[in-house]
Chain A
Amino acid sequence: AQSVTQLDSQVPVFEEAPVELRCNYSSSVSVYLFWYVQYPNQGLQLLLKYLSGSTLVKGINGFEAEFNKSQTSFHLRKPSVHISDTAEYFCALYDNTGTASKLTFGTGTRLQVTL
């Protein structure tokens, strides 16, 4: 069975500081990995995805993530955050085994950016 673990439920950070949101996964098959962002009272928006190729993936809004197969991690980073980055961030894994295919989500990390 596959699973996604986001160890930090909340991450407070000052504006213009760097941030890293951690994501670890467990799966017995080859995986696709995603980061989604959810602003208050809205749906989820795709930030970036790793399907194959380069392990460093760049997404929207200046975010990037690095796929590390040996450590089964896919941490999200941004070198300098803005107040507008305050949101909930979800790491997700794509399960494409058998006849079903679905995204499995972590429990989310709330990023709180303050002045």
Chain B
Amino acid sequence: DTGVSQDPRHKITKRGQNVTFRCDPISEHNRLYWYRQTLGQGPEFLTYFQNEAQLEKSRLLSDRFSAERPKGSFSTLEIQRTEQGDSAMYLCASSSGTGFNEKLFFGSGTQLSVL
């Protein structure tokens, strides 16, 4: 068990460029979350996968954001045409089970800076 890993740790991009982040959850975990955190705020929900199915997506998310979890393993989060307001820490978390009794295991996050 190597924990949840995220890649890259840091990403600097110019406004208008596309970026993609990867999350590798703990192998036996069927649930995967993406959260975003900006300075002074708590983590904000982006999307949720149960196995390969994307079961929930935040209404705050624009059409520029898309996430996938092919085969229920790793997940990718893509942001198209990045804007300066997208600058944030993007966190991935995984857990097992089907309810909310299981704790979340987090990755170290990807820090995105849009110039």
Q: Do the two chains belong together in a single complex? A: no
